[in-house]
Amino acid sequence: MAAEVSVRRPPRLSAAPALEVAGLTVSYRQQPVLRHVDVAVPEGQLVAVIGPNGAGKSTLLKAVLGLLPIDAGEIRVLGRPIAQARTHVAYVPQTDSADWDFPITVREVVLMGRYRALGYFGRPRAADHARVSAALETVGMTAYADRHIRQLSGGQQQRVFLARALAQEARVLLLDEPFAGVDARTEAAIFELMDRFSQAGQTLIVVNHNLQILDRFDAVLMLNRVVIAYGPPAEVVSADNLRRLYGGRMSFVDEAERALREGPADVR
Amino acid sequence: MSAERLLAESAADLITWQERLLSPLIDHRLQLLCSVVVGALLGLLGGFVVLRRMSLIGDAIAHAVLPGVVIAFLLVSTGVTGLFVGALAAGVVTAVAISLVTRFSRAKEDAAIGIVFTAMFAVGVILISRLPAGTHFDLKCFLFGDPLAITETDWHSILLIAPVVVGTILLLFHPLKLLSFDPVLARTMGFNTSLLHYVLMILLSATIVAALRSVGVIMAVAMLVTPAATAYQLTNRLWLLLTVSTALGGLSAAVGMFLAFQFNNPPGPMMVLVATVVFLLAMALAPERGFLAVALRRRRIRRHILEEDVLKMLARFEEAPQRAGASLAAALTPADPRAIGRAVEDLARDGLVTRGDPEPTLTSVGRARAQEMLRAHRLWETYLAQEGAAERHLHDEAERLEHAHELAEELDRTLGRPAADPQGKTIPRPEG
Amino acid sequence: MQAPPGLGPLHRVAVGLVLALLALGGCERPPAGPADDRPLVVTTTTMITDLARQLAGDRVRVVGVIPPGLNPHTFEPTPDTSVLFRKARLVLYNGLHLEGKLVHMFEGLGPRAVALAEDPRIVVRASEWPQGAPDPHVWWNARHFMVFTEKARDALIALDPDGAETYRRAAARYLAELETLDGRIRQAVARIPPERRYLITSHDAFYYYGAAYGLTVDAVLGTSTDASPLPLRVQELARLVVQHRIPAIFHETAVSESLNELVSRVMAQAAKDGQPVMIPPEPLYSDSLDVPGRPAGTYLGALRENTRIIVSALAGEDVRPLLQGMPGSPATVPAPGPAESPDGR
């Protein structure tokens, strides 16, 4: 049952939602991590995804990206299945998932955003380099363009990843914990960038642990294996919902799942 | 063994060092060339292996090609294509098996690697024992190589393999770069990372077969890893890393060959030793990270600190002339008097002090600097006292921290521009 | 003031290393003697080295690459070996794959390399193990060695025609000695009671000797020490020893300890089954001669020593007088010494 969301900004571009997830169920090693998730995100929205550890937030992102097999349900990006919509989706991973000792410069990392378009055998051309420069300019990293990525701070690394997503000319950006490990000043700077992207019509779905800045998002998705709530922060972020989100309701389900897997106590 | 020495002596009489030097170029050109190309190829592939933290897998594949090679040997004798196909098949089987074991058991990747390649190797050894009587498979040669035994056939197979390896890497450069840096991103962009991974494994298996003759399997792993690790130490760009790694691989092979002839040692291990020595040199001499650079930097910092301490002490002498009877050396113990002398010389050269008897005197520039130091010192003492440090530690701590004098201004502001330190001494104001 | 920690121990290690390298670099080989421009003849096995020296005298420089005590089946070449082969004007080797790891080097030398054992006059037997491979140990038949002599002589003459006369004379003399020794060996072996004419050794190196002089030969290992023994060999041989009441079996020089150990096990097994067989303290010379200067340091000497050891063990008779007074034998006959342990290889 997709929740209708009243948005702050009018919907843009296509009629199809940026991201539409219906009845999504994903398991990992026979344990369900996401169950019957229904979400529809219109374009141009800045959406936060919050929930406790193990709630399936990263799993949701990976499922949307087509990195995980799904048990049931459907995922459509801009009205199309992910396999056909890859160009339009950019993944901005956690900064510690990359190898910062790798011998490349900032510019080369951003250039990787163009690789999707180049395919296996293509070579970057002037137009590609131009987009890279523009992306660097947008995130304010032009001064660092030819520096080795090893020399960057956490916030700068995050901006490089954003620039990469920008260079990819994606319309939907999935960000996995972009605020992890940065100070308040950097966090504000990153959020400002995200806001600007969203103003430009891109859809950003941001997995986030920080509850303080939720009111600046267009919508909040509360996820703990199932959708606890979804809607504008003013409506959705309440003490009640937070309790349901971080509380122990799911522990019974966990136990039941385990019992089903291993057999009832008297059979074990 | 005295018998061997007998031979060694007579050979040493007969062969001049010039002959030793030229022999690889004149009489063993094919062997030299093959070894160099193989070394270069291994270096090139090694770049990716090291970046992707796959060194252990490289080792595994090198060993695990044995059963493939033996089976090929059984079926097609020493036909070169047969050997390649056998090795490739074994290489792929190994890679697949490692993935499967990692996925379906608790074993982590390193255990999976150990399990799979030792099993493959064991199968290979058993197969060798079952070879029909008369066929001879030299396991020792497989493991350690025999560059002197390289023939035209080996050269032809290397000529075949090298362009394939280089070409594939050039063609797939960007996807491989992406795969090595951020495999998750590669997948999200729709690249088939498994396919790319297996392509690398196949290239690796093929190159190892080419390397079998010259360095043997065990040394091939070293040539795969060591030149690449050296390049990793020294470079900051991927294409540069690959170029350096390839060059070092070929160079180690060449130099190793020449040294082997000079000292009458087996060439394969000599090549590995050369590659290792180069790595150690890089470790020591790398700009910024190397031992030498670090040591030099430390020495520079030490000298700088001593100079600042001299300036400060001279300013203190000026402040309290009754203590001027003491000498710099006494006041600055435990510093080495010679080091103090050198510091004074450097300061004099920079115009901060004038040499004098018995102690040098500050120039006006020197005095200004010394005042800066004093200011920093007393500000730090004030700050530490405020933060609750015990009084008896204030001086020593401040002695250390004062050399970070860039922070003095910010410290001053934060403390509210105090006029005196906890001991009542005036805190100098900055000029201007 | 507190300085960061100094270089300390690392500094000392680095200085030490540099000094060590300098010291090593300073070592020089003693200067070579007066220039030697005689043609270089390179040989492989000690038997062939001895032959070349006997024929060539001082006209050429003879260098053998396989030192005494090392096994030619497993001898591994070093870069020096390769350089020597390339430098040589003539290479004399056995062939028939005896020098297993040098085969590719001979191929690269063309007509400069002469395989003394590969000749239509020498009938080569196919080994039983490794099956089908040619048995290279042809030289222990003196008549075969006479073929070696002639081939070596011809090669030397082709290399150095000016010395043709020297070579011919030396060869003629040597052939005569071989002829005489050949006859004496037959006489010596005839002293062994026919039912005891069995020669059992570590590896199958004596077939041609046995075929020429009237002994049945068997061994623990096949014709190449590079292979592994078949299982149950020890038991088979022990049964043979018991069946024919063989009084002695033999160790060899220049083979591995473990191989000779297998012969000892045959002895133990046979003794258990009722045949008190012994192993003489002196091993036989199979794939290598002794060090030059010792009685078995020449081919003739080794052939004589082998015969003496075999016959005295099997016949219980001391045949030294029969073999004495031959060219190549020492003026006084030395008493047999304690068993020499073969160089483990």
Same domain, B109 and B204: yes
Q: Which CATH class is domain A19-262?
A: alpha beta
CB C171 within 8 A of CB C177: no
Same domain, B203 and B319: no
Same domain, B191 and B166: yes
Same domain, B276 and B300: no
Establish if A97 touches chain B: CB-CB under 8 angstroms.
yes
In the CATH scheme, what architecture does the domain C193-323 have? 3-Layer(aba) Sandwich (3.40)
Closest chain B C-alpha to A168 CA, distance in angstroms: 10
Establish if A7 touches chain B: CB-CB under 8 angstroms.
no
Same domain, B300 and B266: no
Same domain, B308 and B205: no
User: In this complex, do C68 and B3 lie within 8 Å of one another by their Cβ atoms?
Assistant: yes
**CATH number for the domain including B119?**
1.10.3470.10
- The domain limits of chain C are 40-184, 193-323
What's residue C1's pLDDT?
42
Q: Which of B4, B19, B295 sits opposite C83 (nearest CB)?
A: B19
Closest chain A C-alpha to B133 CA, distance in angstroms: 49
Residues of C in contact with B12 (CB under 8 A): 29
Domain count, chain B: 2
Nearest CA in chain A to B53: A99
- Tell which of B282, B304, B331 closes a domain: B282
**pLDDT tens for each residue of A202-251:** 899 999 877 777 888 899 998 888 888 888 988 888 877 877 787 755 55
**CATH number for the domain including B317?**
1.10.10.10
Give the domain range for residue B376.
294-415
Establish if C289 touches chain B: CB-CB under 8 angstroms.
no
Nearest CA in chain A to B104: A29
Domain for residue B308, yes or no? yes
Q: Tell me the pLDDT of chain C (345 aa) as tens digits.
A: 433 444 444 455 555 566 555 554 444 444 444 556 788 999 999 999 999 999 988 889 999 999 998 989 888 888 989 999 988 999 999 999 899 889 888 988 889 999 999 999 999 988 777 677 889 999 999 999 999 999 999 999 999 899 899 999 999 999 999 999 999 999 999 989 998 899 999 988 999 999 999 999 999 888 877 777 777 888 889 899 998 889 999 999 988 888 888 899 899 989 888 888 889 999 999 999 998 888 889 999 999 999 999 999 998 877 777 776 555 544 333 334 343 333 333
Model confidence, pTM: 0.75
Nearest CA in chain B to A93: B185
Indicate contact of A with C: 3+ CB pairs under 8 A: no
Closest chain A C-alpha to B296 CA, distance in angstroms: 22
Instruction: List the CATH code of the domain at C40-184.
Output: 3.40.50.1980
User: In this complex, do A67 and B187 lie within 8 Å of one another by their Cβ atoms?
Assistant: yes
Residues of C in contact with B146 (CB under 8 A): 101
User: In this complex, do A103 and B240 lie within 8 Å of one another by their Cβ atoms?
Assistant: yes
User: In this complex, do B178 and A112 lie within 8 Å of one another by their Cβ atoms?
Assistant: yes
Q: Do C40-184 and C193-323 fold alike per CATH?
A: yes
Establish if C109 touches chain B: CB-CB under 8 angstroms.
no
> Hey, which chains touch B, using 3+ CB pairs under 8 Å?
A, C
Nearest CA in chain B to A174: B188
Mean pLDDT, chain A, whole residue set: 82
Ramachandran region, residue B366 (left: φ > 0; alpha: ψ -120 to 50; beta: rest): alpha
Mean pLDDT, chain B, whole residue set: 83
Q: How many CB pairs under 8 A join A and B?
A: 71
**pLDDT tens for each residue of B340-379:** 888 888 888 888 888 877 778 888 888 888 888 888 888 8
Same domain, B374 and B323: yes
Q: Tell me the pLDDT of chain B (432 aa) as tens digits.
A: 445 555 555 666 778 878 888 888 888 888 899 999 999 999 999 999 999 888 888 888 888 888 888 888 777 766 667 777 888 888 888 888 988 998 888 888 888 888 998 998 898 888 887 776 556 677 777 888 888 888 888 888 888 889 999 999 999 999 999 998 888 888 888 889 889 988 988 898 888 888 887 778 888 888 999 999 999 988 888 999 999 999 999 999 999 999 999 998 888 889 999 999 999 999 888 777 778 888 888 888 888 888 888 888 888 777 777 655 567 777 777 778 888 888 888 888 888 888 877 778 888 888 888 888 888 888 888 888 877 777 777 888 788 888 877 777 777 877 788 888 877 787 877 754
Closest chain B C-alpha to C306 CA, distance in angstroms: 21
Domain for residue B424, yes or no? no
Which of A41-55, A145-159, B130-144, C98-112 is least confident?
A: B130-144
